[in-house]
Amino acid sequence: MPAQLRQLLFVLNPISGDIDKTALEATIAAYCTERGRTATFFHTNGHDDLARLRRHLQQPYDAAFAAGGDGTASLVAEAVSGTSVPLGIIPLGSGNGLSKDLGIPQNIEEALRLTWDYSLRTLDTLRVGGLFAAHLADIGFNALIVERFDQGDARGAAAYVRIATQEYSAYQPATYRIETDRETWAGEAFMLTIANANTFGSNVVINPQGQLDDGKFEICLIAPFPNTAAPGLLYRLYTSDFDASDYTKRLQCERASISVPGATEVLVQLDGEPHHLPNPVEVEIRPGSLRVLVPPTAAR
């Protein structure tokens, strides 16, 4: 039997996804009280969230739950990375990619079962341009869409699809040079994904063979493609068949340097959050640096 979790911290993002948060705290508090748990709440506000959360975690908690989307999950993951405090996720965002890859239920009450019925997994994390990432990062088309989405007021999958459709026709692929601990690649790419996992929150399977705990990550490249190839490529991305396309390639490594010739900075999305990072972007894996609560049936 796993150890009982008594003192629980819930980190809430009031604007993640398109879910009403007004009654969420009361729901979580009542659920925990009924099962003999103590729920404490921390609210993000976009101002020094990581530093404030780390100070708050100096109190003794048995687990820290991210109640939000991938950005909130990444924030809490970074705060507890390298400590004995495990991460739990109550998925409430627009995509919830990390929770999906971990087999965590997308229903709030079912996800709350992790407060008492769970297994522990130890995962790798990434450093991308000196910043933390627990799940997926990318450069190119999707990074642009994430930035546009972040700048807008609308949330949810429909808003993301609308922005992607608007940007697609005018998008110009860039040229990249990638040097890893195993090989070097150079050429044009529509987008490239730095993957410590498998699936975007949109259910696009960008890295079907990736593992969260193997001490390696993958760089998944999509080359420029004609409009006529888009439906077939999209089909492969939704059917875990990434490697079968003529327009895809994967590089597996432990370290990588990704440069865009002529650029001073590179737009990168990290776990759903856009950043402008110095060129080149240096990437490395941090093996076994994060403990996560997952359903017993999802443990590996």
131-288 to CATH, choices 2.60.200.40, 2.60.40.1180, 3.20.20.70, 2.30.30.40: 2.60.200.40
> Which of helix, strand or coil describes residue 224?
coil
Better-scored residue on pLDDT, 70 or 155: 70
pLDDT over 70 (residue 299) = no
Does domain 7-123+289-298 bear CATH number 3.40.50.10330? yes
Dihedral in degrees, nearest 10, Cα atoms 227, 250, 146, 232: 30
Q: Which residues contact 154 (CB under 8 A, 6 or more apart)?
A: 162
Q: Which residues contact 150 (CB under 8 A, 6 or more apart)?
A: 273, 274
Domain boundaries, the chain: 7-123+289-298, 131-288
pLDDT value of residue 154: 67
Q: Which of 199-213, 224-238, 281-295 reaches the highest mean pLDDT?
A: 281-295
Q: Which residues contact 161 (CB under 8 A, 6 or more apart)?
A: none
In angstroms, the Cα distances linking 156 to 21, 68, 150, 230 are: 15, 13, 11, 23
In the numeric block, which tokens belong to residue 151?
A: 């700048």
Q: What percent of the chain has pLDDT over 70?
A: 95
Specify the pairing of strand 184-189 against strand 174-180: antiparallel
The overall average pLDDT reported for the chain is 90
Q: Is the pTM of this model over 0.75?
A: yes
> Which of helix, strand or coil describes residue 166?
helix
Confidence of residue 219 (pLDDT cuts 50, 70, 90): very high
pLDDT value of residue 172: 92
pLDDT value of residue 203: 82
Q: Which residues contact 138 (CB under 8 A, 6 or more apart)?
A: 191, 192, 193, 194, 268, 269
Other CB atoms within 10 A of residue 190 CB: 20
**Equal CATH topology for 7-123+289-298 and 131-288:** no
Reported as a single tens digit per residue, the pLDDT across 19-61 is: 556 688 999 999 999 999 999 999 998 889 999 999 999 999 9
Reported as a single tens digit per residue, the pLDDT across 157-186 is: 677 778 877 878 889 999 999 999 999 999
